[in-house]
Amino acid sequence: MGQRAPGMTPEEFLGDVLDHNFCSVFSPDGDEFYFAHYDPDANTCSIEFMKKNDGVWSTPTVASFSSDFIDNDIAMSTDGDRVVFRSNRPLSGRSTDEQRDSLYLWTSVRTATGWTDAEAVAFDERTDIPGGYPALTLNGTLYFTTKELGDPGPKDIHRSRYVDGAFAAPENLGNTANSPYGEGDLFVSPDGSFLIVSCYDHPENIGGEALDLWVSFRTADDSWTEPANLGPPINTEFGENCPTVSPDGRFLFFNRFTGEEGNDENGTYWVDARILNGFRPGEGEPAG
């Protein structure tokens, strides 16, 4: 996008273009860029995208699967043919008023003529599991966070395996990857070998009650290493969230609350993803 690649110090990405935008993701070929756009005046949020044609990027446009409701937290499959996102649009049989404060995961599939109309994600036929911050891996497993499944933490990471063309019942990722505090925005690497998550109210957060980014690696026995705080220069007193790594694995993107009161989610930053190497387990590489 015409910017010089960053080094090991985070730099702002696209500046004013991404003002009040967050939770961004590139398509696997790097030719599409999707993000959530928040309109503070109207208190609405939609999913927009930019597309590269003949080397030139288009201006942001609302994605066809987005709606007049609150849409955010988008993830894309590794083949670019599916998106999963969070929305408060009403589930079948529910009114808008009933649904207004509840957010569920929805999905759309790319076809030869464009994206399909969004449908609620069904977990073993259940569509009534509120969730957010989805991530999709190579084998179709869907990771997300929720607080509605009787878990010990205020919000925990779960995963749903994709079996025979459907998402299975979610399973909690366990007490190592999940802290006693709250897990929020989530990225999981395509091979499922590591995750980055924003934790809130964690006593070791640099920003105190603000969000910090933490990383955990999956081991050979399918357990997870103790999460490590990414520390400075990524985490600051302002609070960081919305982590994602570019499809080529070169850059880590995240959001930083940059408003005067720390509540304007309008700063997208990027940094060389090799900054994560210092957190990998000391003995061998994590399991794929």
Residues paired with residue 49 on neighbouring β-strands, in sequence order:
34, 61
DSSP 98: H
Q: Please give the model's pTM, rounded to 2 decimal places.
A: 0.89
Collect all residues with Cβ–Cβ distance below 8 Å to 100 and sequence separation of at least 6: 88
Contacts of 256-261 with C-beta under 8 Å, sequence gap 24+, read 256/10, 257/210, 257/211
Query: Cα dist. 165→123, 124, 168 in Å?
Result: 11, 11, 10
Cα 205-236-263 angle, rounded to 5 deg: 95
Residues of the chain with pLDDT under 70: 15-20, 95-101, 148-154, 258-266, 283-288
pLDDT tens digit sequence for 164-221: 999 999 999 988 899 888 899 999 999 999 999 999 889 999 977 789 999 999 999 9
Contact 194, 218 (CB under 8 A): yes
DSSP 42: T
Quick one: pLDDT at residue 41?
75
Contact 217, 280 (CB under 8 A): yes
Collect all residues with Cβ–Cβ distance below 8 Å to 206 and sequence separation of at least 6: 212, 229, 231, 232, 235, 236, 237
Collect all residues with Cβ–Cβ distance below 8 Å to 52 and sequence separation of at least 6: 30, 31, 32, 58
Domains and CATH numbers, the chain: 11-279 (2.120.10.30)
Collect all residues with Cβ–Cβ distance below 8 Å to 83 and sequence separation of at least 6: 34, 65, 74, 75, 76, 77, 107, 108, 115
Quick one: pLDDT at residue 13?
87
Collect all residues with Cβ–Cβ distance below 8 Å to 25 and sequence separation of at least 6: 33, 34, 35, 74, 75, 76, 244
